[in-house]
Amino acid sequence: MDRPVSPLLIVEDDPGTRFALSRVLRCRGWQILSASSVAEGLSLLKAEPSCVVLDLDLADGCGETVLRQIREDGLPSRVVISTASSDASRLANLDIRWPDTILHKPFAADELLAACRKGTSPG
């Protein structure tokens, strides 16, 4: 019997980007959950995703809030920051563990896949 695999969560407020990320990852076998806001992302953490692809600049707040909650809850989720901001270094000033990977937009699909694969497996 196959063991259930945790889904991958995408937190991205741009619908086109969220669709593209979902499509690339779903085609590679991941079960995808997606959120367009910090609030939605936080509510989907109860699914204990194996990996979270997280935009930093969301319409209702900062993706750092989601990262902080993941770390405070002790979730084993791998966190891949997806950002157009050149100031992702601002995460260094937080008293939480850094994200596992930071990808600067635009990035290639193979970069995304490699970042999500480390320590996880598609579902």
Is 122 contained in some domain?
no
Q: What is the pLDDT of residues 41-68, one digit of tens each?
A: 999 999 999 999 999 889 999 898 999 9
Q: How many domains does the chain have?
A: 1
Angle among Cα 52, 55, 61 to the nearest 5 degrees reads 115
Is 60 contained in some domain?
yes
Is 123 contained in some domain?
no
Tokens of residue 49, six digits: 């995703």
Is 54 contained in some domain?
yes
Provide the domain limits for residue 33. Answer: 8-117
Is 3 contained in some domain?
no
Is 2 contained in some domain?
no
Contacts of residue 109, defined as CB under 8 A and 6 or more positions apart, other chains included, come to 24
Sheet with 78-83: list strands edge to edge. 32-35, 8-11, 51-55, 78-83, 101-104
* CATH number assigned to the domain comprising residue 35: 3.40.50.2300
Residue 32 has a pLDDT of: 97
Tokens of residue 91, six digits: 């995460």
Q: What is the pLDDT of residues 72-106, one digit of tens each?
A: 999 999 999 998 876 656 655 555 567 888 888 89
